[in-house]
């Protein structure tokens, strides 16, 4: 890269940008700047190739800057840059909705588009509340999340989420929210490959919540099939099936937050397919466009959609939506991304690589400070022992060493290192990711 071009990619003032979920002061002392990307790698302004062990942020499932996706976005920008989503439509929004619905199981066949996973979650929660209301069960206003769950950063998603740091400084958020216990128990599950045997009984805690509040007050339960942002917590065997049965028993809607799990991350289009459980709604985002353009959405079962389709034909059925719902560029990116998933059979490829990935990441057992390793699909987390005087610092140092010393991008959740590579990762690159992760762990010892 010419020197002048490299300089143009180096910001000369880092202060104006308040970075999300980032230690801003530490970053600005030692920046980690990504200037371009292609396939499995990012590139720094000075041309260093950084192996992407995180698919960006769980989203670049098809890899970076893939030519068909880039071409689709460019062509769409020249043809139709924006179309109002209220009272008007454009062809690609309907085409993408049909494609997404076709991937979902059973009668999950209506799609409401949003722009992010956070918006998708808040949309699903609002649909749940409105659904019960229009059916004459307006007392069903309580929402149930789960400890250590992550459901984005909207008021609704933060309220039902269960990650302490994301909640503690924001006050009450939404009233009438309760939480199931986390499904993770290190003493029972440490170093499990895939779904743990122990923990299905934790779904029965929903019966206790029903006993406390009565089912007539509960609108929905929302869970990630695999809790990702908290550090990859696979569901115990039988847990999701039990949760579905209890929700059915009490007339409670079950929402799967598949913003991370969806589009091949667990070897299937959706985790619902992997686990054979049909929720009432699925939220999605990230992988639908391989991260190229922001997009999210909610897939809704037919009886829920049909319940809204009453009254005069000219009347709005759901007073909810976003200016950029079904944005033309996002839809073009989504269609091109889904084509890539089919043409390269990436979901099946992820399933085939899962045992190779599992063996590789579990080879890190025994390294300094490694307390646990978890994996499912093409995801993994390595828990490190925290420093007594500085929780999260060891994880931060490992992430920083990985980038600056070993040319690897990893994600951290406190003192956990999280690995979620693009689905195009090769077996050789799996070995490289794990080898460099091991070096970063040792460097942070």
Per-position DSSP letters for 52-64, written without gaps between them: ESSHHHHT-TT-B
Which top CATH class is 70-343?
A: alpha beta
What is the spatial distance between Cα 91 and Cα 128, in angstroms, rounded to a whole number? 28
What is the spatial distance between Cα 381 and Cα 374, in angstroms, rounded to a whole number? 5
Going by C-alpha positions, the residue among 163, 120, 245 that lies closest to residue 413 is 163
Going by C-alpha positions, the residue among 234, 199, 183 that lies closest to residue 381 is 234
| Residue 205: burial class (beta carbons within 10 Å; 0-12, 13-18, 19+) | middle
pLDDT, residue 172, reads 87
| Residue whose pair of structure tokens reads 């339960």 in the numeric block | 221
Q: Provide the CB-side half-sphere exposure for 218 (13 A, CA).
A: 28
CA 242 to chain centre: 23
pTM, entire model? 0.96
Given a cut of 50, the residues of the chain with pLDDT beneath it are 1, 3
Radius of gyration of the chain (CA): 22
Give the residues across from 50 on adjacent strands: 42
pLDDT, residue 9, reads 63
pLDDT, residue 7, reads 58
Q: Provide the CB-side half-sphere exposure for 286 (13 A, CA).
A: 28
Residues in the chain: 445
At the second CATH level, the architecture of 3-62+345-443 is Alpha-Beta Complex (3.90)
Question: Residue 300: which residues within 8 A CB-CB, separation 6 or more?
Answer: 108, 110, 111, 112, 127, 280, 281
pLDDT, residue 368, reads 98
* Domain range list for the chain: 3-62+345-443, 70-343
């Amino acid at each position: 890269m010419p020197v002048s071009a490299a300089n143009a990619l180096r910001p000369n003032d880092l202060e104006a940008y308040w970075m999300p979920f980032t230690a801003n002061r530490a970053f600005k002392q030692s920046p980690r700047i990504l200037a371009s990307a292609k396939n499995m790698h990012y590139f720094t302004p000075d041309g260093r190739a950084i192996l992407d062990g995180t698919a960006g942020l769980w989203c670049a499932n098809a890899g970076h800057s893939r030519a068909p996706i880039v071409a689709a976005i460019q062509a769409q920008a020249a043809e139709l840059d924006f179309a109002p989503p209220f009272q008007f439509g454009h062809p690609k929004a309907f085409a993408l909705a049909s494609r997404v619905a076709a991937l979902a199981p059973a009668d999950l066949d209506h799609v409401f588009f949003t722009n992010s996973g956070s918006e998708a979650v808040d949309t699903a929660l609002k649909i749940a509340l409105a659904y019960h209301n229009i059916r004459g069960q307006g007392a069903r206003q309580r929402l149930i999340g789960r400890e250590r769950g992550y459901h984005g950063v909207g008021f609704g998603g933060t309220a039902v989420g269960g990650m302490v740091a994301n909640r503690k400084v924001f006050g009450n958020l939404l009233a009438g929210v309760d939480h199931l216990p986390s499904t993770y128990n290190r003493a029972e599950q440490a170093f499990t490959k895939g779904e743990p045997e122990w923990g299905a009984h934790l779904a029965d805690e929903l019966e206790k919540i029903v006993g406390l509040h009565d089912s007539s007050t509960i609108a929905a339960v929302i869970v990630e099939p695999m809790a990702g942002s908290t550090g990859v917590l696979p569901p115990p065997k039988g847990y999701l099936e039990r949760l579905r049965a209890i929700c059915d028993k009490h007339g409670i809607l079950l929402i799967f937050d598949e913003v991370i799990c969806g589009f091949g991350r667990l070897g299937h289009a959706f985790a619902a397919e992997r686990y054979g459980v049909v929720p009432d709604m699925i939220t999605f985002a990230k992988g639908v466009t391989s991260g190229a353009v922001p997009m999210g959405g909610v897939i809704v079962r037919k009886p829920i959609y049909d319940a809204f389709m009453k009254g005069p034909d000219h009347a709005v059925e759901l007073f909810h939506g976003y200016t950029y719902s079904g944005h033309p560029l996002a839809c073009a990116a989504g269609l091109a991304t889904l084509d890539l998933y089919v043409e390269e059979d990436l979901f099946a490829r992820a399933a085939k690589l899962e045992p190779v990935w599992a063996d590789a990441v579990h080879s890190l057992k025994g390294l300094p400070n490694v307390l646990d390793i978890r994996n499912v699909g093409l995801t993994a987390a390595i828990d490190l022992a925290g420093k007594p005087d500085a929780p999260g610092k060891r994880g931060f140092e490992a992430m920083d060493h990985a980038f600056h010393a070993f040319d690897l991008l990893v994600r951290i959740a406190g003192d956990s290192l999280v690995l979620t590579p693009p689905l195009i990762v090769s077996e050789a690159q799996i070995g490289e990711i794990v080898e460099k992760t091991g070096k970063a762990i040792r460097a942070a010892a």
